[in-house]
A and B are shown apart, each in its own frame.
Chain A
Amino acid sequence: MTETILDLAEITLRELNQTLQNSANGAFRVTNPRGAHAVAAGLHTDVEVHIDGSVGYYCAGMHQVGTVRVEGNASTGLAENIMSGKVHITGSATMSAGATGNGGLVVIEGNSGARCGISMKGVDIVVGGNVGHMSAFMGQAGNLVVLGDAANDLGDSLYEANIFVRGKVASLGADCIEKEMRAEHVETLTRLLAEAGMDADPADFTRFGSARELYNFHVDDIDAELAARSTGA
């Protein structure tokens, strides 16, 4: 497929994103990103975007269809609220990668900073290196796969997201516990590692999930207890 070159040294961010958003399909190569923010944000058609260099905040934000590949690093909010499709970076990401993502796959070959996968709602995230503190905080659905180590408070206030870690976990957050790795989890992990192009043995991973102790308020009712006692109920 012929690639169309979009040079951010020559065109504005708005021209770049309008071109990508208005293309029904096709392959594009973005050159000279120079850490620009919101590169390839809001893509909702089946385009393939290759970015030569590092990007700033919100690269591929709210991504819906197609593929974005970054040859470099990404700053805060990589693929935030991704709905579907694939975002892959060869370097590292800073804070909040894949935040609130509803679907699709985010692959980070390097490390990811704090709050990777925060409030994730169905996205799958595979990190080749380590993740920072409070990763998968309030994670609702989806899978976070970490081939390296996880920093403090992993999975704090977790809902139904799954976390798989191959390395060490500094500490677990509130209501996050180690869980049994059942056959369906091995199957999911095997598939995600393959889709991410990562060479790792699922048997080396530990699964973490929610203890579900924080799902509801715990409310006492002494008066009702006493009333029941007095009636012998």
Chain B
Amino acid sequence: MSEQPFSQQPWNLRESYTYDRNVIAEIRRAANTGIYRIRGWGAKRELPTLDDLVFLGASMSRYPLEGYREACGTDIVIGEGRAENPVKLDIPITIAGMSFGSLSANAKEALGRGASAMGTSTTTGDGGMTSEERGHSNTLVYQYLPSRYGMNPDDLRKADAIEIVVGQGAKPGGGGMLMGQKINERVAQMRTLPEGIDQRSACRHPDWTGPDDLAIKIVELREIVNHRVPIYVKVGAARPYYDTALSVKAGADAVVVDGMQGGTAATQDVFIEHVGIPTIAAIPEAVRALQELGVHREVKLIAAGGMRSGADVAKAIALGADAVSIGTAALIAIGDNDPALEAEYNKLGTSAGYWEDFQAGNDPAGITTQDPALSGRLDPVIGGRRLANYLKVLSVEAQTLARACGKSHVTNLEPEDLAALTVEAAAMAKVPLAGTGWVPGG
């Protein structure tokens, strides 16, 4: 018989699968505060991802391109033949909408610098356009959101594209949040709100409901910008087949489908973890809608939600997307959750790599804050260089995989180049389980 005290016996330390430490902590937190958990970041639980797919590199029946010598294009054009000034991007990776307010001005500037250096676009967010981001973004997409905070027709005319936001992957069906700690004088003025309030944005557009109204809204926006720039529609991935089809019907030049791994600056944890479908399941359904309508590769599909690597970029494109959009990864690239700030994270009761309280306004990295001292820590020039380097790696990785599949342009990748490692991924992505010809449900 062991001489260890009972409390130290191994079987006494068995953690419940149903009530693990995170669950117990959340029950205790809820019991203490009486308010649902609000946080940033995106879904943290295990979900089917693009990692569950692999490329079938060329061999005897397919011919690869020379990795360092033969050309492999990465450019895309959005709105060609549909808007007078289509958006031309050098790489198929865009920066997702993130507001000034949720992010510091320096962070917005860093995103603009990095994206512009690599010939791609950034996107505004809830709260309007700042001079910093317009000044540092060669291609800037202006989000048109339900709240219309900071919505100004002069800014609309300065934009290179308009993105009508219907939903977001982190919270399809929900509106944005910005906690009072981050609503300083400038943010309050831009949004016409009292300083310090806990802002809860509207989840529905105030002047249209449904696809028929949206078609008329798009007519109005085109009239106001004189048909100059393309119009995107962004949806949170919930029913991507129908949402994509209805966006096309309404006249969108591009559809942005944001999977449930997509990040947020602040929303309810219950939303982040329990609403929407994973990106791997959303892309094929959106593509199916575009193909059935005969507009695949004409109306562009931008996939978002948990894009981290060039492999993710290439897989999303192989499934039928034209480009991807990154948010969380871009913030990490410019300094979010930097291990060099470990001591600072420890003071907040967390650790680098775990920090998710974007809503709190006390970001040690100076990214998701409006505190001048904290935001001053982020050098936008250095941040921009880091983002440009990261985007370069994503693009080159995607090219590498495309060449290995014998493709001279990344958008020539196709589902036939993929196999799935799990039955679930095969069913969602609609590609065969590796080593078989079996597509569940196909």
Contact = CB atoms under 8 A, between A and B. Distances in A.
A14 B223 contact: yes
Majority SS at the chain A contact face: loop
Given A102-B192, A122-B192, A221-B33, A13 B216 contact: no
Given A14-B223, A62-B224, A140-B192, A42 B202 contact: no
B152 A119 contact: no
A138 B147 CA distance: 9
B337 to A, nearest CB: 26
A17 B224 CA distance: 8
A44 B34 CA distance: 49
Give the size range of B's interface with the partner: 20 to 34
Interface string B331-368: 00000000000000000000000000000000000000
A57 B197 contact: no
Contacts of A122: 192
A21 interface: yes
Given A121-B192, A216-B198, A100 B151 contact: yes
Interface in B126-169: 147-148, 151-154, 156
Contacts of B151: 81, 100, 102
Interface string A1-33: 000000000000110011001000000000000
B194 interface: yes
A115 interface: yes
Interface in A87-135: 95-96, 99-100, 102, 115, 118-119, 121-122
Contacts of B198: 215-217
A209 B35 CA distance: 26
Interface in A34-85: 37-38, 41-42, 44, 56-58, 61-62, 64, 76-77, 80-81, 83
B20 interface: no
Contacts of A83: 152-153
Interface of A: 13-14, 17-18, 21, 37-38, 41-42, 44, 56-58, 61-62, 64, 76-77, 80-81, 83, 95-96, 99-100, 102, 115, 118-119, 121-122, 137-138, 140-141, 159-160, 215-223
Given A61-B220, A96-B207, A100-B207, 8 more contacts: A95-B207, A115-B206, A119-B148, A119-B206, A121-B192, A215-B197, A216-B198, A220-B33
24 contacts: A18-B226, A21-B226, A41-B220, A42-B223, A42-B225, A57-B213, A57-B217, A58-B220, A76-B216, A77-B207, A77-B220, A83-B152, A99-B207, A119-B206, A159-B193, A159-B197, A217-B35, A218-B34, A218-B35, A219-B33, A219-B34, A220-B32, A221-B32, A221-B33
| 8 pairs of A and B residues whose beta carbons are closest in the complex | A42-B224, A77-B207, A100-B148, A62-B153, A96-B207, A38-B220, A58-B220, A220-B34
